[in-house]
Each structure stands twice: as C-alpha cells, then as structure tokens.
Structure 1
C-alpha cells in the first residue's frame, strides 16, 4: 500500500522544484482526518462525500481522478490506523496555526454537509482540534462560520 501511495503522489501531485516527501504526506494526513469526521457518526452520507471531494479538490487543486484516489487511500489509512497520532503530528509539525484553524473549519463544513448536527461529529472535531492545539475559541469560530455558510 505504501508503494501505491508514493506512486500516486509522484505521478499525480509532484511538481517540479517542490520538496519531495512532506507535501504528499500532508495531503494524505489532511484527507485522513477529514475522513475521520465523515465517519464519526457511523453513517457515511453522499452529501458528506461530495463535500469532502469538493474540499480536497479546491484545497489542494487536484483533478477529479486524483481526489478520488486520495479519498480511497485516506479511507484505507483511517481503516488501518490505530489512532490519529501519525496524521496529527505531521499536520502539527508542518501546518501553521492559521492552516490548522482552516482544517478545523473544513471539518465543520463536512460535519454539517448532510444538514444534521450530530454530537459524535462535534466530539470528533473537538478532539482533533485539541490534538492540533487549536484554541477553543477558534474551534467555535470554525463552527459558526460553517453554520453561516450552510444558511
């Protein structure tokens, strides 16, 4: 599976002059944490999957095929992971505070994409925000912004 991940990023996402290694892993880690939010309520809704697809596509500038493959790999990673440490530590080490807040906002957008506010999704986002060292005020700000864009 690691060979598949490396091949995907080398073929699809590598850009000339970019540092190899960290960016693809960050993309996969970001997608994996977003997948965790989608499955937090034990019901994967098509609206949430569509929202995940759009978020990844716009955030990383990927094609449809690249996003589909990234989502599949992220889901495999989440299924195989024992905890969130590998994803969270990579993001904490490479994303600045504003980027981590943006990620929390993306999580809220996913959680609200199906038109429901489920306490399990909120709990998962709160836990991830704590692990990412995002202040509670910014956690709430992300929630309110996502709710405002849903209206």
Structure 2
C-alpha cells in the first residue's frame, strides 16, 4: 500500500496539474489509514467493511461501488506497507486540523464498529494522532464522539 501512495506522491511532484490528482490522493490516504485500523488484527469483520464504505461515501460523496473499489485497492496494497510515515506525512501536508480530527474520529468509528477495541487498534490510532500532530484533547474528543455515534 505504501508503494501505491509513494507512486501517487511522485505523480503529484512531477505533475504541473496537481489539482487533477489531489482529491483522489486524499481519498486513498484516508482509505489506507482506515483500512489499516480495520485490518490491524489481521481480519476484516463485515461490520468494519460496512463502516469503511459508509464513511468514505459520506465524507467524499462517493457511491457505495466507488468506495468499495477504493477499499479493495487499499486492502490489496496493505501487504506492501512498510511504515505509516508516508501516510502521515501526506496528512500533514494536505489536511487541515479539522480534517485530521475527522480522520481520527473515522478511525475510531472503524475500531468501534465491531464492538471490540483491540489493543492494536488503539495503539495504531494513537500513533497516527501523534504523527499528524493532533492535540491530545482532540484525540480524546474524537474517540468519545465516535463511541457516542456508535451507541446512538
């Protein structure tokens, strides 16, 4: 997955028409991090997959089919992942603080979707939050909001 993201960054860096790639890249970056949460325990619960599709559809105004394709691509590329740095660097470069907050909240929503917060999921979300410089208060608020969204 990181190879795919690296390739996208190279395309952006070498292209005179950055806007053409920007929205797709943001979608893939988000999907990659959300998929990482969903699969950090080496399995993808159907509830997690449904949550991934729903979140991408809502946030990026995608059809279910388009969201599923992005998720499938992210899952296929996951095996090639070597670190979070490329993703988090892209988030730092392209996301506002509000977008970072929403991303972390979505990561929590994925984690809560199967009713079990695995230690690996929590560690991953915490690590991403630190790497994207999300203030701790927003990290805890994102978790609380995601939990409350799940119970409503």
SS in 1 for 2:101: helix
Q: Whose helix fraction is larger, Structure 1's or Structure 2's?
A: 2
Query: Where do residues 92-131 of structure 1 align in structure 2 (5 Å cutoff)?
Result: 92-131=92-131
What is the 5 A alignment of 1:130-141?
130-141=130-141
RMSD over aligned Cα, in angstroms?
A: 1.9
What corresponds to 2:36 in structure 1?
A: 36
* Alignment check: 8 A CA contact 2:31 2:74 kept: yes
Q: Determine helix, strand or coil for the equivalent of 1:28.
A: helix
- Structure 2 residue matching 1:69: 3-state secondary structure: helix
C-alpha displacement at 1:106, in angstroms? 0.3
TM (normalized to structure 2)? Answer: 0.84
- How many angstroms does 1:84 deviate by? 1.5
Match of 1:82 in 2: 82
Aligned to 1:70: 70
In the alignment of these two chains, the number of paired residues is: 138
1:148 maps to which residue?
A: 148
SS in 1 for 2:49: helix
How many Å apart are 1:22 and its aligned residue? 1.6
Runs ≥4 in structure 1, deviation > 4 angstroms? none
Flag structure 1 segments of 5+ consecutive residues without an equivalent: 7-17
TM-score normalised to structure 1 length: 0.84
Q: How far apart in 1 are the matches of 2:68 and 2:117?
A: 26
For residue 11 of structure 2, what is the aligned residue in structure 1? none
Residues in 2 aligned to 1:108 and 1:27: alpha-carbon distance in whole angstroms: 17
Contact 2:108 2:143 in 1 (8 A): yes
Q: Distance in 1 between matches of 2:45 and 2:112?
A: 11
Q: Which runs of 5+ in 2 are unaligned?
A: 9-17
Q: Deviations over 1:123-151 (max 9, x none)?
A: 11000111111111111111111111122
